[in-house]
Each structure stands twice: as C-alpha cells, then as structure tokens.
C-alpha cells in the first residue's frame, strides 16, 4: 500500500507543477488586444488561436488528473489510520502498566521529605 501511495503522490506533485507551468505560460485576457495588432502571435508554433486552445485544454486535462489523484490520495491515506478506541484510552493504559521491578526491589534512595523545604528545617537557618 505504501508503494501505491508513493506512486500516486509522485503523479500528484508532477501534475501540480505542470499546472503551475501551464498557467504561467498562458496569456491573460489583456493580451488579446496586443495579439490583434500583430505582436508575434501569428508566428507562434500553434498559430494565433491554436496555442490558447491547446494550453487551456491541457490545463483542463491536468486539472482533472490533479483532482483524481487528490481523491486517490485521500482514499489511500484513510486506510492507514485505522484504529479502535480513543487517544485517551491509550494514554490511560500506558500509565497503569505494571512496573517491571520485582516486588522486593525498592529504591535505594530515601524518599524526599514532605515539608516542602527540601529537607531543611526552618529552625536551623540562622537569622
């Protein structure tokens, strides 16, 4: 499943970069006036209107591929996160796990005093 996810992700990224490139190559609506006065559009590879149709159709095709790979990525990724229960149940189970120490093996250091002063008596501090 990871191999399929990697392939679809690679196609998705390449399609996104291709769409960006095609959109940047296309002329905007304001370029129509310049093309009417012969700004070199007739000498292009596709002719005066051929490039607009080719680029817009290519962009539409790549947009359809982009949307389909988006749906495929969502479907493949949804299968990876199958779990039962909640996050809090997992946290509670890890906190209540039994210790791995034997019953008779306690800590060798004494417990800290509960007076809140770190074991220092207030009466012993010089004033």
Element (H, E) at 58: helix 47-78
Straight-line distance from the first to the last Cα atom of the chain, in angstroms, rounded to the nearest whole number: 73
Mean pLDDT of successive 10-residue segments in the chain (127 residues)?
Answer: 88 96 82 57 54 84 96 86 65 63 58 59 64
Give pLDDT, residue 85: 65
Residue 89 lies inside a defined structural domain of this protein? no
Q: Does residue 107 belong to any structural domain of this protein?
A: no
Is 116 part of any domain?
no
Domain of 26?
2-78
- The closest alpha carbon to 15, from 55, 51, 68, belongs to 68
Query: What pLDDT is stored for residue 20 in this prediction?
Result: 95
Number of domains forming the structure of the chain: 1
Q: Is residue 6 part of a domain?
A: yes
Query: What is residue 33's predicted lDDT score, i.e. its pLDDT?
Result: 59
| Domain-embedded: residue 105 | no
Can you give the pLDDT at residue 2? 81
Assess if residue 125 is contained within a domain. Answer: no
Do the domain assignments include residue 110? Answer: no
């Amino acid at each position: 499943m990871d191999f399929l996810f990697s392939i679809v992700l690679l196609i998705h990224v390449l399609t996104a970069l291709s769409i960006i490139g095609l959109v940047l190559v296309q002329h905007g609506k304001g370029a129509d006036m310049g093309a009417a006065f012969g700004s070199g559009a007739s000498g292009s590879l596709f002719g005066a209107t051929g490039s607009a149709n080719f680029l817009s159709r290519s962009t539409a095709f790549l947009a359809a591929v982009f949307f389909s790979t988006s749906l495929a990525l969502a479907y493949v990724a949804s299968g990876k996160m199958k779990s039962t229960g909640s996050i809090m149940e997992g946290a509670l189970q890890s906190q209540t796990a039994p210790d791995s120490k034997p019953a008779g093996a306690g800590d060798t250091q004494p417990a800290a005093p509960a007076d809140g002063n770190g074991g220092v008596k207030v009466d012993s501090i010089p004033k």
